[in-house]
Structure formats: structure tokens, C-alpha cells
């Protein structure tokens, strides 16, 4: 079985990576950074997000697992002192796998061209300089005339990330949903003040004053973006996450409140 060891490129630690490569080789893996069967991420949740984006064109051939070197580590079941245990479990097929679909942002540029982006956790559109004004449509029907700092649209697995800091709802990843959550909605109009949870097959469309805005998706932040509209839906892309048998989303959600 082939494996790639992935660490955060912004915090590259060659000594750490080389040490894990030695353990993986000792356990019985073949190291292959380009065409692995498994990507083993070492870091926090952001590191696993980066690993999914790194192999986004090979998601149908790759599974993801890892060891938590961060804080909560919502994607991880193994801690940094359990790397050999995790690698042996992967090699012996003693892991539970689950699939999670990415969400897609389809951006219509001002010149009419279209750009497609993908996210595991969420998309967010913000304007910290002046109010963001946007018409919000759900499946083509008007839902809201929004005035505020911004909006975020998250997947179920992303509900416990930035969405949770906005007092959005934490959703079990077994439930496939899209969640629309306002960022500092205006008190001067009747904007919705809490998150809206939608079935996975819904489409959210935003258009309005989308000039010089911040567009964020997962760990990527693009400032001073200007575009005509953005349409967010569930994509056909999905990633496979390997977890320890006996763990579930509910046990991880409990950690958020204890």
C-alpha cells in the first residue's frame, strides 16, 4: 500500500516528516507522494483541509487519515503519540471509512466568465469596510435581502469550524446539509439573525454589491474580490476519511462543550 505523509507547507518541519516517513516504511508502507492510496496528515484540522485540496483531482483514489498535532482535531482520532498505531490500523484494514461531499462555489465574474471553486468546510463572503448588500436565493426563489458584514455557507463537516464561531449550529456529519449563517447582520433591517439549515440538494445563490469583498473557502482567503454573483451547491467530489472503529461524530461534538 502506498502512502503520502502530509504536513502543513506553511509550517514545514522536515525533521517531523522524515520521522513519520521512517515509521511508515518500517510498518510496511511504500512512500509515494504523487499517487498514494492513503494521505496521512500530521497537524491540525487545517492541515487535513490542505491535504484534500492538494489531492483534489485524485479524491476517488485516495483516502485520508492523520494524527492530531493541533487543538481539538475534529477530523482526527489519533494523537501525535499514536502514529505507529494509526499506520498499522490502516495497513491492516482496521479502520472505518466515511465519505463526505465537498461544496462547490460557482462564481460569475463581471465579464461573464465563470470560475469554480471547491471547499470541504465552507465558503464565506465578507465586507469589513462597508455593509455587504446581497439578494439571497434558495433554489431560485428569493429568500432574503441581506445587509450586514457577510454570509457563510458551510457543509455538515464544516459546521463545527468557522460557522460555530458565528453561533451557527453544529451538525452531525452523518446528516448531509448546507448551512447558511449570517455574519453580523444589520440591526437596522429585518435580516435573518440565525443560521438556516437546508437539505443537501438545495442551491444558494447570492448577487448584489459584491465589490471589494473577502472571499474565503477553507484555509484560502482572497481579498478585494469583485464579481457578479456566487452560486453554492453540493458537488460531485467527495473525500474518504478513515477513522478508528468505535468513534463517532457525537463523541467529538461532546468535546466542543466540555
3-class secondary structure, 154: strand
Q: DSSP H helical segments within the chain, as ranges?
A: 14-27, 45-54, 83-91, 162-165, 249-256
Active site residue 45: yes
Q: Which residue has the cell 447570492?
A: 206
Residue written as cell 457578479? 228
From the candidates 32, 45, 81, 139, give the one annotated as an active-site residue. Answer: 45
Cα separation of 76 and 68, whole Å?
A: 6
Longest dimension (CA), the chain: 63
Residue 76's SS3 state is coil
The helix or strand, by DSSP H or E, that contains position 180, with its residue range, turns out to be strand 177-185
Cβ burial 142-159 (10 Å sphere, 16+ → b, else e): ebbebbbbbbbbbbbbbb
Active site positions, annotated: 45
Amino acid at each position: 500500500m502506498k502512502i503520502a505523509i502530509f504536513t502543513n507547507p506553511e509550517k514545514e518541519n522536515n525533521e517531523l516528516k522524515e520521522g513519520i516517513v521512517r515509521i511508515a516504511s518500517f510498518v510496511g508502507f511504500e512512500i509515494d507522494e504523487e499517487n498514494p492510496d492513503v494521505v496521512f496528515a500530521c497537524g491540525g484540522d487545517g492541515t487535513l483541509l490542505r491535504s484534500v485540496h492538494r489531492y483534489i483531482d485524485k479524491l476517488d483514489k485516495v483516502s485520508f487519515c492523520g494524527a492530531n498535532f493541533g487543538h481539538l482535531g475534529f477530523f482526527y482520532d489519533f494523537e501525535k503519540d499514536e502514529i505507529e498505531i494509526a499506520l498499522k490500523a490502516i495497513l491492516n484494514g482496521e479502520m472505518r471509512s466515511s465519505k463526505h461531499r465537498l461544496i462547490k462555489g460557482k462564481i460569475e465574474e463581471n465579464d461573464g466568465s465563470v470560475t469554480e471553486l471547491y471547499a470541504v468546510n465552507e465558503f464565506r463572503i465578507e465586507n469589513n469596510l462597508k455593509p455587504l448588500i446581497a439578494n439571497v436565493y434558495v433554489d431560485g426563489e428569493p429568500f432574503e435581502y441581506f445587509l450586514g458584514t457577510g454570509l457563510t455557507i458551510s457543509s455538515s463537516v464544516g459546521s463545527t469550524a468557522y460557522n460555530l464561531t458565528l453561533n451557527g449550529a453544529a451538525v452531525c456529519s452523518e446528516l448531509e446539509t448546507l448551512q447558511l449563517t449570517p455574519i453580523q447582520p444589520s440591526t437596522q433591517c429585518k435580516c435573518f439573525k440565525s443560521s438556516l439549515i437546508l437539505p443537501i440538494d438545495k442551491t444558494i445563490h447570492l448577487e448584489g454589491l459584491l465589490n471589494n469583498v473577502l472571499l474565503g473557502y477553507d484555509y484560502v482567503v482572497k481579498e478585494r474580490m469583485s464579481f457578479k454573483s456566487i452560486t453554492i451547491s453540493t458537488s460531485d467530489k467527495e473525500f474518504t476519511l478513515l477513522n478508528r472503529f468505535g468513534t463517532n461524530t457525537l463523541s467529538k461534538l461532546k468535546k466542543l462543550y466540555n
